[in-house]
Amino acid sequence: MKLDKIYTNRNFETWPSWDLVFEWENIFKEKLGLDFAYFNKKFLKFGNRIPLLKQFFIHEKLLVYEMRAIKRNHFFNHKNVVICIIDYYLDEEEIVNFEKAYNKNPIVLISSLEVYEYLLKAKCNLKIDHLPLSISDHYRLDKKTNLKKEYDLVLMGRQNPVFEKYLEEYIKKFPNLRYVYRKQVNNQFLYFTSDGESLGDINTREKYINLMRKSRIGLYSTPGIDGGEKVTKGFNQVTPRFLELIACGCHVIARYKKNQDTEYYRIDNFSRNIDTYEKFEEDLNFKLTTNINLEYYIEYLNEHYTSTRVLKLEEILKNI
């Protein structure tokens, strides 16, 4: 199968998580030599309510990212559309609906190896394959990357509640830790250092990456633990945040549930699973005074840039 275009919703989607998808789409567009296809937001909503419209409007072969697996028939359930699913948060009894939602797609690409093998074991009646998440080549790490560390720890975005408790205990014991945290001020998230400096808002990908590059350590957890099970239905996919920390030259301190996904990304090569405060304190103290293995970081990331996913997609499409 040969693709004609990459569908993108960048013309209307402003949710920050989509910024990562747009970065992947940019690399796919460049490497595959394709153009973008667009649909109006109102038209898409209408098309999802009346899926028969797709027969009149989808003529080209498209690559389409979907943030979450859908369990109802929708506009992009079409023979010309290759679907890439980022998050799969469905119960076992919803697999039948999942199959109906994508029964016309020539293939459904699953980003999580844990979910992919789960669906194979469940004998999912769809043609599926594994296309892992990645980090854009735009953030390629090499020996020339500016990794001047100004902070011991930078806390960005969603925080794990267990790590929050561990950190509170650690700061009581080691108050000189210099860290960056987020605080909501007048309905806006602003960032501050532990010694009172205001860093303002970090509301772009470039600002986010530049700040993370200044951190010695990053805390990371897979999403389906410590209360996250309610959302993910227990699935624990390794998210792009992990690759971002590596690309920013950060040590990683992580909480995770071992599964096919954590094994695929070899997360235990960067951090053991931190399940006690004692381990947290020990690893934090060690990594604050130890340099990363930059050569290993560079070698590791070479396996996970978006350009490598382009090559895998090309191999997958040869068989369709």
Q: List the CATH number of the domain containing 311.
A: 3.40.50
How confident is the model over 41-92, as pLDDT tens digits? 898 888 888 877 778 789 999 999 999 999 999 999 999 999 999 999 999 9
197 DSSP assignment = -
Q: What is the pTM of this model?
A: 0.95
Question: For residue 55, what pLDDT is reported?
Answer: 80
The pLDDT of residue 98 is 98
Q: 161 with 202, same domain? A: yes
Q: Are residues 108 and 157 in the same domain?
A: no
Whether 68 and 129 map to the same domain: the answer is yes
Whole-number pLDDT of residue 53: 77
Number of structural domains found in the chain: 2
Is residue 51 domain-shared with residue 157, that is, in the same domain? no
What would the pLDDT profile of 24-38 be if each residue is shown by its tens digit? Answer: 999 999 999 999 999
Q: Are residues 179 and 272 in the same domain?
A: yes
Handedness of CA 202, 208, 212, 214 (dihedral sign): negative
Residues 152 and 289 in one domain: yes
Residue 296 shares a structural domain with residue 218: yes
pLDDT score of 231? 94
Of 237, 302, 291, residue with least CA distance to 264: 237
Residue type, 167: L
Kindly state whether residues 250 and 229 are assigned to the same domain.
yes
| CA pair distance 146, 128, nearest whole angstrom | 40
R_g of the chain computed on alpha carbons: 21
Same-domain status, 309 and 214: no
Per-residue confidence (pLDDT) for residue 48, from 0 to 100? 85
**Three-state SS at 276:** coil
* pLDDT score recorded for residue 46: 80
Q: Do 129 and 155 share a domain, yes or no?
A: no
Percent of the chain exceeding pLDDT 90 equals 88
User: Which stretches in the chain have pLDDT values below 70?
Assistant: none
Note down the domain range covering 151: 141-301
Are the C-beta atoms of residues 84 and 65 closer than 8 Å to each other? yes
Same-domain status, 53 and 130: yes
CA distance linking residue 203 with residue 49, whole number of Å: 33
Q: Do 80 and 96 share a domain, yes or no?
A: yes
Strand ranges across the sheet with 151-154 = 198-200, 188-193, 179-185, 151-154, 215-221, 251-255
Q: How far apart are CA 192 and CA 100, in angstroms?
A: 48
